[in-house]
Structure 1
Amino acid sequence: MYAFAYRLTGTRQDAEDLVQDVVVKLYPRLSELETVEQLRPWLNRVLYRQFVDSIRRRGRRADRAASELMEADHQADWFDALESDDATPELVFDQSRLGFMLDEAMDRLSPDQRTLLLLHDVDGWRQEDVAEVLGVAVGTVKSRLHRSRATLRKYLQQRMEPGSDVRRVEE
C-alpha cells in the first residue's frame, strides 16, 4: 500500500498520511476484509479513491499551500521574495557586536550613571520610583538620565565610528 501511495503522492509524508487514513477507515471493518478474495487490488482501489477524495477536499479548501496556487515557473521567484523571520547571520553578528560595545560603554560610565540607566531604561522603573530610591528630586533624575544617555551615546559613537566627530544619534 505504501509503495502505491508514494507513487500517487510523490512524497513520503503524504504517502504515510494516505496509508494511515485508509487503515483508520478500514480498521472497524476488519470482518468484511476477510471476505475479499483478492485483497491487494481491492486495497489499492480503496487507497486510490481515498487519494482522489483528499485531492478534491484540498481543492475546495481555502488553506492550500502557496506552491499549489502559483505556476511552477514563478514559484522560486515568489518564495525567494519572502522575508524570513529567522535572524540572518549578518543580523546576529551585528547584534552581538552591538551588545559587546554597549556592555563596554556601560562599563565606562560612572557607577551612579550606570545604576540610573539600568534602573530606568533597562528595568523599566518610573522616574518617580528611581527618585525615591536614590533620595533625589524627580527633576534631578531627569537631568541625570539625559546626561547619562548623552555620555553613553558619545562612547558608542566613538567605538562605532573611530576618528569621526561626535554627532547626535537619532532615536
Structure 2
Amino acid sequence: MRSVILLVPALLAGASAAPVGLPDQDRSRLEELAHAYLQRRADKVTDAPPAPGFGVPTTPELAARLAGHEVALGTAKASTRTRYRAAVVRTQAERFHADQTGRVVVARVHEHTELHFAEPGPVPHTAYGLPHLLTFSRSGAGWLLSDVALGHYKHCALLPETQRPSEC
C-alpha cells in the first residue's frame, strides 16, 4: 500500500490581510496621551498639587479600575517617609499594533521616570524604567485609553511607588 501526502496551502482568516498603518497624527496623539497618563501617575506620589484622575480620556471600565489605583497611590504617598518634590517622565513609544479596523491600538511604551527628592541630599533623585502596554480605542470624540498593563518585566519584582497598585 502506498501513502500519498497531499500538501494543501491553508489560508488562515485574516492572515493575508495587510497590516493597518497608523497615520502620523494618530501616532503623535497616542504618544501624547501615553506621556500624559504616565506623568500624572508619577505626580500622584509627589508634592505636586493633587489633581483627580490620570489626565487622559478613558473608557468607563478603565476609569473605575484607575480610581482604585488612585486611592492606593494616595495611601502609599501618605504612609511613606520619603517625599518627592517632582517627577520627570520621559516616554518612548516603541511599537504600535493596530487592529484591522484601525479603531484599537496597543502601544508598547517605555517609561523612564526620575522622582526628585524633596529634601536636598547627595543623591538628587531616584529613577526607574518600565515597559508598558497601553491600549487605546477610537471613539467619536477621539482616542480613549482603554487598558493599561506593565509590559514584560521580572514578574512580581519590587515595583516603584508609581506602580505598586498594579496587579502582580
Structure-1-length-normalised TM-score:
0.24
More helix by share: 1
* Structure richer in strand, relative to its length: 2
Normalised to the residue count of structure 2, the TM-score between the two structures is: 0.24
